[in-house]
Amino acid sequence: MAKLDESLLTGLPPFSQLERPQIRAILDEAISRRYDEGKAIFREGFDADHFFLLLDGFVRVSRATETGEQVIVLHISPGQLFGIARALQRETYPATAIAAAESIVLSWPMRLWGPFIDSYPSFAAESYKTVGLRLGEIQASLTEMATKAVEQRVAATVLRMANQSGRKTEDGIEIAFPITRENIADMTGTTLHTVSRLLSGWQKQGIVKSTRKHVVVTDPHRLVVLSQSNS
């Protein structure tokens, strides 16, 4: 396999304050792998033997409920670490990670987590910042589930995905990874029928454009209003 170039990591937050020789040493320990859409990178409850960095694509993170259903809790964007179970003081993965689109991922053996944290303080700081942000995002989702009406939850979830991964197009802000109505239903604790009804209604109102595995927010302001409305 060709040697990975340091420029892959130099602009990414966990590595941006490191010198090129330090990045070279980190990359020399990495394995690069491509995952097709729908392929599992790791599964909840399995031994956390590697941690990962997403170079390209998107990763969907889900957790199992008591009844065995998978509930989507996060989407990982390019440039982010994931599978960092050791940062949570865990020996197993707390969730399942699936490639939401064709993805390129770097991985390192988990035995290197401690040495990386000890040797590179800026890497440690950014890694634990990532953990904090993700826990905050999960907490926000749980709060929405407990306090918001269905339409508010769906609007807030679509907005969050657009904010995290959105790219500007002629039509509006496109969610950059494939997302189905069933995925949105899983994320918001509602039914596929309800999500389909809401998205169809919003499309008629010019708020979103929704096709198979594809959502574009055409009027973000009105979606913000819907996510906050009590009506």
68-125 confidence digits (pLDDT tens): 777 888 899 999 999 999 999 999 999 999 999 999 999 999 999 999 999 999 999 9
pLDDT at 2: 60
Q: Which amino acid is at 9?
A: L
Model's pTM, two decimal places? Answer: 0.84
Chain segment 181-220, per-residue pLDDT in tens: 999 998 888 999 999 999 999 999 999 999 888 999 999 9
CA–CA dist 123, 13 (Å, integer): 8
- How would you class 195 by CB atoms within 10 Å of its CB: exposed for 0-12, middle for 13-18, buried for 19 or more? buried
pLDDT at 68: 78
pLDDT at 230: 59
First vs last Cα of the chain: how many Å apart? 57
Q: How confident is the model at residue 19 (pLDDT cuts 50, 70, 90)?
A: very high
- Sheet strands side by side (includes 81-82): 31-35, 103-109, 50-56, 81-82
Of all residues in the chain, what percent carry a pLDDT higher than 90?
A: 71
Domains of the chain and CATH, by start = 6-137 (2.60.120.10), 148-228 (1.10.10.10)
What are the phi and psi torsion angles at 161 (to 5°)? -65, -40
CB-CB contact of 162 with 220 (8 Å): yes
Of all residues in the chain, what percent carry a pLDDT higher than 70?
A: 98
